[in-house]
A and B are shown apart, each in its own frame.
Chain A
Amino acid sequence: MNRSFIAFVRKEVTHIVRDPRTMLIALLIPVVQMILFGFAISTELNDVEVVVATPKMTPAIESKVAQMAQNPYITFRGYITTDKVDHCLSSNEALAVVVFSRDYDRNGKFQIVADASNTTTAQTATGYLTNILSESKAAVAPNVRILFNPQLKSSYNFVPGIMGLIFILICAMLTSVSIVREKETGTMEVLLVSPIRPVMIVVAKMIPYFALACIDLVSILLISRYALDVPLSGSMTALFALSFVYIILALALGLFVSTLVESQMAALLISGMVFMMPVIMLSGMMFPIENMPTVLQWVSNIVPARWYIPAMRKIMIEGLGFGYVAKEGLVLTFMAVALVAISVKRFNNRLQ
């Protein structure tokens, strides 16, 4: 029994190693994506393109504009006449227009017209401009301190998100397609007539993919730490324990998909494409869960990444330990166990 199980694992390993292209792709994709997205994705607006419209030029306006143009977040694109404001925004020449009033020198009034076809950039841009252009009143402001991420780096927010996204999709694709391929070619039948229990066949299939995912995990962590400067200050044991559970859950998800479909194409499309939507949209990776309609908040609870991503944020960035991610850990473990149980049951049922 034990020996035949090892033989099965070995067979799966040979399968993977014999197809070096797929293996290389599965190992490289997470690394490249991590680097690319870790550096590139950011929600902090850098180059706000602004033009100024004014009925007349005065020294006060000129000095205001000069002050604004010096701001590193603002890219000043020149002056236009007040009747050109709409045209300037509709033709994408600028993100916002600052319109000074005729009596600016006297009353200090101005208007910011922003292109709200992208609401995020519009809000941020008007926020920047209001701050820069408003008279700095002598009013005393509270002291603001940003915890855990004082430079407000977006990568701190996105690295755990991308981990949650990549693991679940890649693992689900790998397992589901490998099982369905054996169904398609008929080799599954051959395996099933062997004396080994069907469950063990499935477990044997998962072991090499688990190893592959662990290599991905380590490389992603190394990149996060040394290339993206993510602190990784929390408990490493908790990080690995949760990640292992999450990977097993992802592999089980692949197994579950393989019991639903008959063709490789369907397996790949479900685990790689259909799942991509809820993982990006409902996991809190991009959009805060607490802002969703209540029903969708419930729905988000069945998305595993919705538990993994915040737990990773706590461990990697807030530097917390097991105690603070216990809930997430329990939910993920429960999901993993349930999914393995359901899939194995379905897998067995199909055999009869």
Chain B
Amino acid sequence: MRTLLILLRKEFILFWKNKFIPKVAFIFPCVVILIIPLVTTMDVRHVGVAIVSHDNSRLTQNIITDLGATSFFTVSRSGSYADAMEMVKDGDVDVIVEIPKDFQRSVESGNPIMPHISANGVNGTKGSLGSGYVAGSVMNTVARFRGIKPEEKASVRYLYNPTLEYRNNMIPALMIMLLIMICGFLPALNLVGEKESGTIEQMNVTPVNTTVFVLSKVIPYWIIGLLDLTAAMLIAAAVYGLVPVGALAAIYVAAALFIILISGIGIVIANRSETMSQSMFLMFFIVLVFVLMSGLLTPISSMPHWAQAITYALPPRYFIEIMRSVYLKGTDMSALGMQYILLAFFAVLTNTVAALTYRKQQ
């Protein structure tokens, strides 16, 4: 125990002596939490719509006015389909609405020839949702013109985030991304750094216990990670007004387990690397898999089934489930028992592997 305290003291001295690491560990997360939530929106807005009209009628005019009335669309007119297509290629237009000849007359006759809608599908979300919105708007205009009042049978209620603020969904995810980065990269580089500078050898020739040594590498990042999380939650509350609905304890318990887990992975990688570049590349790979595949940015349920199966082995998956549930829904810890158990399991697993793969002897 005393040895652990002595080693921890060493880690903290070295941490603060470093010109760069404290900045990365504390300033970087704060900047990210301050700025990035503004960026993150998957909303489909600012859809560029080009109207190619072959029918100069009142109905066409109504369609254009109705489209222009919402903030979703930026409407422009175009002389021909080919011209509109050029605008799509230039990236100025996402959806083309081609209104056929005698459109209004066909509607009045009760046998409408409907407009053609072409959407750029490169960005799948924008393509499908954008074209859907345009189609809906056109249909409404036509229905109104025919004097049909659409009856709304379905009502929608959004729980936990009634205004559908995308930010609320992303802030917990960003916190997790930061913890993955700070508590994964830093311990890995720290340990390999000792290998490269040779100081690890002076340690290995002492009777220091490997578990104690690994703990001395994990605990500092545990503290740093929890401080970062606290700072991030304060910023989220002050700047974005997002306060956790659920118990703080539920968040901290999960974070505490998660940080140990991720630092353990960093140590395992460091144990297996000879140089900082190697450990950085390996960690980079794992971080990207964690960030892109565990449901932080895109939903897991949209992945193919084999990929969904892989996500069960990605611990951030459980952490994000806990964070979103507790932060936004106020879910009770007891309802998330399985997630906590799995986080704890992975924490024990990675750190056991870390202690086992740490070799004092070659």
Q: Could you list which residues of chain A lie within 8 angstroms of chain B, going by C-beta atoms? A: 19, 21-22, 25-26, 29, 32-33, 36-37, 39-49, 86, 89-92, 95, 107-123, 126-127, 129-130, 133-135, 137, 139-150, 152-154, 156-157, 165, 169-170, 173-174, 177, 261-266, 268-269, 272-274, 276-277, 280-282, 286-288, 290-293, 296, 310, 313-314, 317-318, 320, 324
Using known A-B contacts A114-B157, A126-B156, A269-B189, determine if residue A44 contacts B40 with beta carbons closer than 8 Å: no
Using known A-B contacts A25-B281, A111-B157, A119-B165, determine if residue A281 contacts B36 with beta carbons closer than 8 Å: yes
- Docked Cα-Cα span, A211 to B251, in Å, equals 46
Check if B330 is an interface residue, CB within 8 A of chain A.
Answer: yes
Using known A-B contacts A89-B329, A109-B153, determine if residue A261 contacts B301 with beta carbons closer than 8 Å: no
- Docked Cα-Cα span, A120 to B193, in Å, equals 42
Q: What residue of chain B has the Cβ atom nearest to residue A138's Cβ?
A: B148
Using known A-B contacts A110-B154, A133-B154, A144-B131, determine if residue A272 contacts B119 with beta carbons closer than 8 Å: no
- Docked Cα-Cα span, A45 to B298, in Å, equals 9
Of the candidates A39, A148, A268, A277, which one forms a contact with B122 in the assembled complex, judged by CB atoms under 8 Å apart?
A148
A127 neighbours in B (Cβ, 8 Å): 129, 132
- Docked Cα-Cα span, A235 to B150, in Å, equals 48
Using known A-B contacts A117-B169, A150-B121, A313-B122, determine if residue A287 contacts B42 with beta carbons closer than 8 Å: yes
Check if B328 is an interface residue, CB within 8 A of chain A.
Answer: yes
Contact B156 A130 (CB under 8 A): yes
Check if B250 is an interface residue, CB within 8 A of chain A.
Answer: no
Using known A-B contacts A118-B299, A152-B121, determine if residue A33 contacts B42 with beta carbons closer than 8 Å: no
B335 neighbours in A (Cβ, 8 Å): 90-92
How many residues on chain B are close to A (CB under 8 Å)?
106
- Docked Cα-Cα span, A189 to B35, in Å, equals 41
List B1-52 residues whose CB lies under 8 Å from chain A: 19-21, 24, 28, 32, 35-36, 38-46
CB A180 to nearest CB in B, in angstroms, measures 10
Q: Mind listing 21 A-B residue pairs with CB under 8 Å? A: A40-B293, A41-B303, A89-B159, A89-B160, A95-B301, A114-B156, A120-B298, A130-B154, A130-B156, A133-B154, A135-B153, A142-B134, A154-B124, A157-B124, A173-B277, A265-B20, A269-B186, A273-B287, A281-B36, A290-B46, A296-B35
Contact B276 A153 (CB under 8 A): no
B161 neighbours in A (Cβ, 8 Å): 116-117, 119, 122
Contact B276 A281 (CB under 8 A): no
With contacts A117-B327, A118-B324, A296-B39 known, what are 13 further pairs, Cβ within 8 A? A22-B278, A91-B331, A92-B321, A111-B156, A117-B329, A119-B42, A119-B161, A140-B114, A145-B116, A152-B127, A261-B20, A262-B19, A274-B28
B193 neighbours in A (Cβ, 8 Å): 264-265
A292 neighbours in B (Cβ, 8 Å): 38-39, 41
Q: What residue of chain A has the Cβ atom nearest to residue B162's Cβ?
A: A116
Contact B285 A39 (CB under 8 A): no
- Docked Cα-Cα span, A111 to B161, in Å, equals 17
Contact B278 A21 (CB under 8 A): yes
Contact B160 A116 (CB under 8 A): yes
List B292-345 residues whose CB lies under 8 Å from chain A: 292-293, 297-299, 301-304, 307, 310, 321, 324-325, 327-331, 335-336
Q: What residue of chain B has the Cβ atom nearest to residue A108's Cβ?
A: B153
Check if B252 is an interface residue, CB within 8 A of chain A.
Answer: no
B97 neighbours in A (Cβ, 8 Å): 142
CB A255 to nearest CB in B, in angstroms, measures 16
B255 neighbours in A (Cβ, 8 Å): none
Stretch from B86-94, B220-228, B354-362 that touches the partner: B86-94
3 nearest CB pairs, A to B: A149-B121, A40-B307, A116-B161
- Docked Cα-Cα span, A320 to B325, in Å, equals 44
List B80-118 residues whose CB lies under 8 Å from chain A: 88-91, 97, 112, 114-118
